[in-house]
Structure 1
Amino acid sequence: MNTNDAFLEDAATLLGPRGFTRDAELLEPWLTDWRGRFTGKALGLASPSSTDEVAAFVKLCARYAVPIVPQGGNSGMSGGATPDASGEAVLLSLRRMDAVREMDADAMQVTCEAGFILQNLHELAEKHRLRFPLTLGGKGSATIGGLISTNAGGTQVLRHGTMRAQVLGLEAVMADGSVLDTLTPLKKDNRGFDLKQLLIGSEGTLGIVTAATLRLLPEIGGRRVVWAGLPSLQHARKLLLHCETQAGDALEGFEAVPAHSLAAVLDHMPDARAPLDGEHAWHALIELVAATGATDALQELTETLLGEALEADLLEDAVIAANETQSEAFWLLRDSIAPAERAIGPAMQHDISVPVAKMADFVEAISPEVEQQFPGTKAVAFGHLGDGNVHFHVLAPAGATRGEWERSEGKTISAYVHDKVTEWGGSISAEHGIGQIKRDELGRLGDPTSLAVMRAVKQALDPKDLLNPGKLVPLADSHATP
């Protein structure tokens, strides 16, 4: 019996038929990333049902030197949960671990396992008149473990921060199979390094998150959702500053949407309607909220804010959603941009950030540069303007072949965009992680000292490089060129 056969036999014995499979049909959906950019192979699919089973399985993999690729909802944007083509790794799915271990409504905390779905967390919180302050378009499939591993962002970061800010404690299985338990939340704890923060955003390369204690917030008493038409992104930036000054903590979200993106969504969703009449170069989606018992003044605040913005020529037109159905319709337009653009054809998607004050200048300067440098392309930026983070997409010329274009000209375009972002003092990954798609670019552009520290931490915690190999951490000799 060879080593692989022995490992597979032991894995099947350890986890049972529900916990380990080599069935090609069951494996197939999990071998390709959400974007369809990467497809790999795997020895099998492990689906443990408890932290003890995860720990035992990781120890087994360490004994046989089998690499592990952890996976949540497989909705990541950087290929971070997809195995390579060697077929030497095993997929480790946390989807069966979806229990709520403790719900403490009084403390406004919940402890849940890594496979718990974000939408289910929202619904659980609502039952207790609470809310979880992070949401994104893939909330129906994104898991808590995946959100923690990638330090996910979303549309509420402006007020509440990324996933990192929501995690009060976590549990993780380390590369040797030991269990790190920091689930108990403490307001003050000075016993050395904050290890949970080290694991958040590490994309499964340092440890496998199995559970987390998360903060919840009181439910909102009411909200007002506004769709505004603007002449430029510079006006959007000025409108954002106006909203921050006038609304303060009532400002929950501020998203910038160019005319091209709105048109793509309306083409993609025939039943959708544009919120405003007339043509506008840019749009802003704004959400204002108030706590229970403080909603009476919200409508007046919204109307005053918009009235002052109109008088100051910060916007061309605006509409306040009449009810929750219309509010959700406005947000659906924003959340549908990515699939709408995907339907148009190939594109290179860049999840970038620059200093907040420079974002409008960056988009206005770099978009025409990209289109001039790569004839036939279309540069489109949209997203979280208030966070200094936009999704900077470069759409392929008409007739480009999906797959081929991304591997050829698309790769050169991404390097060009990343160079510009670095020149502006920004980051090539604001919220989607590095995964495998940007690992070499991080090695090419990253600060040498930061990269050396990352490699040292990886070597210390995973000396055999068994946890999600080939992701996030650039090789020491990585000097990728476009």
Structure 2
Amino acid sequence: MARPQSDAALLEGVRAICHCLDQADDRQGYELDWRGRRFGRALGVALPATVEEVSRLVGYCGRHRIAIVAQGGNTGLCGGAVPTGDGRDRQLILSLRRMNRIRRIDPLTDSLIVEAGVLLQEVQQAADGADRLFPLSLGAEGSCTIGGNIATNAGGNAVLRYGNMRDLVLGLEVVLPSGEIWHGLRSLRKDNAGYDLKQLFIGSEGTLGIITAAALKLFPPLRQVDTALLALPSCEAALSLLKALQTREDVPLTAFELISAESVRLVGEQFPDKSFPLEPGHPAYVLVEAGWTGPCREDAFEQCLERVWGACGVVDAVVAKSDAQAAALWFWRESITEAQLRAGPHLKHDISLPIADIPEFVEQMDATLRSRFPGLRIVNFGHMGDGNLHYNLNAAPGVTADTLQAWQPEIERLIYDHVAERQGSFSAEHGIGQTKMDDLARYRSAVELNLMSVIKSSLDPEGLFNPGKIVGQRPFDTDGDEAF
């Protein structure tokens, strides 16, 4: 079919279906990723309000050969939700922000159905209003959307107890590249009627389908939550503490966060008005959280810590006595990312490892990087309870951004090779997007890559959805035409 000759004519067709932004100033916040490192010019920003509008829009874009980049809150760290290129290959951002209704909540079945543009914080609040818990918790929960959380298989602080986003989804509503709507919003706990299709779309970063709504799991609310910050002599001791707590039935862990001494120093430097509650300088700290759904003794948490204290080499600890004190302890974990941004040039590595390998990995990798790249600050922290580390690096004074950028390829190769040797992953919870496509090609087998390509080609043969992400297919290049 002949396509319109101008962007203006194409946008008129989009506006006939749904609200659309086409002025440069209006598009700007959608075209630039959250970290400010990836920019892609969009033809426009479509803002549909219903699944039917999404379906019509996908059909229109398919007929007129316009690629679609689905976007939620645009809080991702890998450039997966912004266009690629300078606009010559026409890519339309499809924002789900107007699809923001909570369609149904059912405490009896512990489920709720929400549209993709609902903020994570709003889902949490809706669950709380029904005396239930939606456990996904992220630093960006006030701005990230549930559709984006699903598309990237978000992790967060409570994976230790409740699992990743993949474990919290019961069903999905998805618009396919054909424009068809898959109505899979079933809230069933058991359904073995063929392939589990929803799992294809969870973590696919909008490359296979556009998630427009989801049926999510709810849980009993936590009646008591206890938080403690502990100082330990080593990462090995932190691992021992984790295992000791996990073997005790009287401590229902919800989080076990590792914080390195360098991370504490960095936060202290960038937030000088905050006082660290323990003696700084110990090799490792852990933030431990436990949550009870039923009655328990008020001192149960402290008594458990006392029982494992000596055996695990705990040096010092502070237990929160109020919600405000718990928030003050969490500040030292949740402010590390902001402290890194304030401190200047930095590199981020979102990795996962078998939990038992973490201490040795940290020891060996720290020594290797310090010997080969003097002037690096190793800011190591993360979700030790589920094996996910944010093994990040900041430039020390005197190391320029250009120097750090020049070091980056070798640093990443060292880290990711070491991770791969231990059967870990170079991408634990942030996805692939644009930034990690070369790593995917390097560290995944030919069999895995071929399976991904086959799935993409089967569902989206013309590369309509989110081109240049994960498998790297360009829009409409399978029929011999160049992308435009």
Name the CA distance, whole Å, in 2 between partners of 1:247 and 1:269: 38
What is the identity, as a one-letter code, of the residue corresponding to 1:342?
Answer: L
Identity %: 41
Q: What secondary structure does 2:470 align onto? A: coil
- Tell me the equivalent position of 2:335: 336
Question: Where in structure 2 are the equivalents of 1:354-433 lying within 5 Å?
Answer: 354-402=353-401, 404-405=402-403, 407-433=405-431
Runs of 5+ consecutive residues of structure 1 not aligned to the other structure: 477-482
Q: Please state how far the C-alpha of 1:38 moved relative to its aligned partner.
A: 1.0
* Match status 1:466 vs 2:483: no
Q: Please state how far the C-alpha of 1:269 moved relative to its aligned partner.
A: 2.5
- Tell me the equivalent position of 2:320: 321
Map Cα deviations across residues 26-83 of structure 1 (whole Å, 9 max, x no partner).
1111211112221111111111111111111111110111111111111111111121
Q: Please state how far the C-alpha of 1:186 moved relative to its aligned partner.
A: 2.0
Instruction: State which drifts further: 393-402 or 77-86.
Output: 393-402
Map Cα deviations across residues 415-459 of structure 1 (whole Å, 9 max, x no partner).
221111111211011111111110111112211101100000000
Higher helix share: 1
C-alpha contact (below 8 Å) 1:306/1:318 kept by paired residues: no
Q: What secondary structure does 1:14 align onto? A: coil
C-alpha contact (below 8 Å) 1:73/1:146 kept by paired residues: yes
Q: Please state how far the C-alpha of 1:263 moved relative to its aligned partner.
A: 2.0
* Match status 1:440 vs 2:438: yes
- Tell me the equivalent position of 1:122: 124
Map Cα deviations across residues 287-314 of structure 1 (whole Å, 9 max, x no partner).
011113x23x2x3331222212322252
Map Cα deviations across residues 125-174 of structure 1 (whole Å, 9 max, x no partner).
11111110110111111100000000000010001100001001110111
Q: Please state how far the C-alpha of 1:3 moved relative to its aligned partner.
A: 5.0
* Match status 1:10 vs 2:10: no
Quick one: structure 1 residues 198 and 409, their matched pair in 2 at CA, closer, same or farther if it must change by over 3 Å?
same
Name the CA distance, whole Å, in 1 between partners of 2:374 and 2:95: 42
* Match status 1:135 vs 2:137: yes
Quick one: structure 1 residues 365 and 260, their matched pair in 2 at CA, closer, same or farther if it must change by over 3 Å?
same
Q: Please state how far the C-alpha of 1:217 moved relative to its aligned partner.
A: 0.7
Aligned residues: 469
Q: What secondary structure does 1:130 align onto? A: coil
* Match status 1:232 vs 2:234: yes
Instruction: State which drifts further: 40-49 or 264-273.
Output: 264-273
Q: What secondary structure does 1:352 align onto? A: strand
Name the CA distance, whole Å, in 1 between partners of 2:275 and 2:369: 31
Name the CA distance, whole Å, in 2 between partners of 1:332 and 1:266: 11
RMSD: 1.7
C-alpha contact (below 8 Å) 2:240/2:312 kept by paired residues: no
TM-score, reference length from structure 2: 0.93
Map Cα deviations across residues 92-112 of structure 1 (whole Å, 9 max, x no partner).
110111100001122211100
C-alpha contact (below 8 Å) 1:3/1:64 kept by paired residues: no
Name the CA distance, whole Å, in 1 between partners of 2:398 and 2:463: 41
Q: Please state how far the C-alpha of 1:85 moved relative to its aligned partner.
A: 2.1
C-alpha contact (below 8 Å) 1:14/1:57 kept by paired residues: yes
C-alpha contact (below 8 Å) 2:262/2:377 kept by paired residues: no
Q: What secondary structure does 1:218 align onto? A: coil
Name the CA distance, whole Å, in 2 between partners of 1:173 and 1:202: 13
Q: What secondary structure does 2:247 align onto? A: helix
* Match status 1:167 vs 2:165: no
- Tell me the equivalent position of 2:210: 208
Instruction: State which drifts further: 370-379 or 59-68.
Output: 370-379
* Match status 1:223 vs 2:225: yes
